Structure 1
Amino acid sequence: MNALATIPILRIFDEKKAFEFYVDWLGFQVDWQHRFDDNAPLYMQVSLGQLLLHLSEHHGDACPGSQVFVECSGLEAYHAELLAKNYKYNRPGLEEAEWDALIMTVHDPFGNRVLFNQRKN
């Protein structure tokens, strides 16, 4: 077996809020969306560069309050870009982590967290 990718699934409860947070503010693009019918919950994939996330309204797909750890580069520039958007629900800071990294944690409207981690070395 050769694993090709790991794609976290995050539980969402409101499609409009999910788009506002992940697409409009964080800058992800919507790769695809799926519903079994017009009255079914949304399941979709969003991406930001090589980072892929699945967002699901389906009960039981994921547990609210999850955290995703993202290794990245260019965190200071991305942080400045997010702050410039003046998103009223989230203004994350940059922190020095004990493991010699710069980190930024964002909290989505559904209780999930995305922790961006940039190693210093």
Structure 2
Amino acid sequence: MELRQVYLDTVAQILEVCGVLAIVAGTAFALCEAVRNLVRHREGEKIFDLFRTRLAKSILIGVEFLIAADIVGTVTIDPTTESLGKLAMIVLIRTFLSFTLEVEIEGRWPWQRHRNRHKDD
């Protein structure tokens, strides 16, 4: 294996680890924050909503890292037609997941964000 491939494979693995760490760390922080709010006797529904939002954001960041890892790993290391087809399916699925998580976090469609900003001005 040539040095370039070793380097790019390492970059892809680092991106994968970053994605997993973002999800794990975000989940841990969201859980800690929820427990802290429960101990302080805050409103349960607000605690749950905040937990879901924090968790969704950490998953979203993790998915973005994982998509980057897939792109680096597939396009630069093994650019066959079959692997590019698999990459396209993975990116499509993860993009759909990212889109639905963003809708969950924001509570509206992405194209509605700009419309609401102009109403606030």
Is the structural similarity TM-score above 0.5? no
Decide which structure has greater strand share: 1
TM-score by length of 1: 0.23
Decide which structure has greater helix share: 2
Higher relative contact order (CA 8 A, sep 6+): 2
Structure whose alpha-carbon radius of gyration is higher: 2
